[in-house]
Structure 1
């Protein structure tokens, strides 16, 4: 009999918070989980060490009297409680424990009624705001922000996969700030004779195309290449770091 997990979602203070439940099953007239459930609940415990138990509900099948079944359900709850406690799981200070004799909607399959349902909540994970997201949020109209760790294959507009985290940050900032409008600006390094292949424009367009593919409204974005006309360091650069800093993509905050 497989462990059943049901996920219910609700909102608290505008943050997503998940309440979940997991079921432990028992053999007929037994108050300790059956072997299959023991293996599965141990695996569940190993993967949910930081969860907090908030409710334990105990059930029995329809055999025997209501009072006998309720006492059996209570023992099942207590044994599961001890099992979870010995495994180091945390319990809510308002832990609720309810035993049912027969007064619940029973499954036609008796084995599915011999159970304890564990309700738990996982720790709330607060996303860490990236430096780029923070800069965009705090920026003013007219300000330039360099996109960090954006890489392209040599002399091309093909974005290297390790640039993905920055692209995702930029996309999220655009999604979270629907009034934000930007100009994506490409720059190159090293070439004293200008951008013969117009790589700077192609790279700016590549960022624009990524955002467009991810459903950012084209009316909120433009792109432009500046070749080598706005270097941070004089060309030819003296170090690889200076080359990297000249070879960049920036966004100009147009509207917020």
Structure 2
């Protein structure tokens, strides 16, 4: 889960709306860990923006520390400067979206516990006649080089299989969806080839 709070230009002071959003996080009861990442727009030098983003992250951390109970662990607080922005800076509206702190919220795992998510059956292993409109399937082993739009060679076999299935079943329509990693620890939201 991800929550973002936004800041005014050149400020690291929390506004009432941001405090209200953080107050809602404090109400969460499960054992959770919070990772906090401060951001900024491109105005100013790299050093200045690094400090501003750190101050924003620390402001959120301090606010949460004063209010959270034992069920929430603040795991990391990082200021990213202007190096890892989600939005471009081509307009004031987009620059405002970069003036934020992102709080990543994960379940705190006990020793030996593993994180699990939704798993879907492989499209390639399903019988076309058993598929229904709206079903979701995975397309295994089609992965991309981080930060690029180039898939790894291992995906060639899978994409050839998919192509053959679609050629042999011309009435089947599919929608392909992909995703990028949106966690700052492993960020690839910018296409380095463009």
- TM-score bucket (shorter structure): 0.3 to 0.5
- Relative to its length, the structure with more strand (as a share) is 1
Higher relative contact order (Cα pairs below 8 Å, separated by 6+ residues): 2
| TM-score, length basis structure 1 | 0.37
